[in-house]
């Protein structure tokens, strides 16, 4: 699987030191899939590049979302989390106790049937769907 740094380089992004550090924050997770807040990204980026600013982190995350290379995930707690997993359509499982977020592939837990939605709202064209399942993770049960 391609890293975020590889995807951004492949699309011809100018990889400044700041952009590279932010992308590598996500790359460092490796097999562990993460959903970081902007403050999480800032904290990890400052450890590598102390002069990076909060504004640069927020602006770069916004650019990455606009480019479709990172997802902005809002699960109802008013804090946006950033998800570098854009390779496959997936849903999110949110633990109501510890607030952990887990990915689950759409094929495993299908979302609402789009044909059902079309029957309720004739003429409506569905372009995307965000599905969030809430419950308790194995550690919090």
Cα–Cα distance between 77 and 60 in angstroms, integer?
Answer: 22
- Provide the pLDDT for residue 135: 92
Backbone phi and psi for residue 31, each to the nearest 5 degrees, phi listed first: -70, -25
**Is 98 marked within a binding site?**
yes
Under 8 Å between Cβ of 102 and 139? no
Output the six-digit token pair for 94: 């949110």
pLDDT in tens, 95-127: 999 888 888 877 665 555 666 666 777 788 777
Which segments of the chain have a pLDDT < 50?
A: none
- Domain 4-83 and domain 90-135, same fold? Reply is no
- Residue pointed to by tokens 């995807």: 7
- Which CATH homologous superfamily contains domain 90-135? Ferric-uptake regulator, C-terminal dimerisarion domain (3.30.1490.190)
β strands within the chain, DSSP E: 36-37, 71-74, 80-83, 90-95, 101-105, 132-135
**Is 137 marked within a binding site?**
yes
pTM summary value: 0.82
- Provide the pLDDT for residue 133: 87
**Is 139 marked within a binding site?**
no
Domain ranges for the chain: 4-83, 90-135
């Amino acid at each position: 699987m391609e890293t975020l740094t590889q995807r951004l380089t492949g699309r011809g992004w100018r990889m400044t030191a700041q952009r590279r550090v932010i992308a590598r924050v996500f790359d460092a997770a490796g097999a562990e899939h993460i959903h970081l807040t902007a403050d999480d990204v800032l904290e990890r980026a400052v450890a590598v590049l102390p002069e990076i600013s909060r504004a640069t982190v927020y602006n770069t995350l916004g650019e990455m979302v606009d480019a479709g290379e990172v997802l902005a995930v809002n699960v109802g707690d008013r804090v946006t989390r950033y998800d570098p997993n854009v390779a496959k359509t997936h849903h999110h499982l949110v633990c109501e106790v510890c607030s952990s977020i887990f990915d689950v592939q759409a094929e495993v837990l299908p979302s609402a049937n789009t044909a059902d939605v079309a029957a309720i709202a004739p003429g409506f064209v569905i372009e995307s769907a965000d599905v969030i399942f809430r419950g308790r993770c194995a550690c919090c049960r």
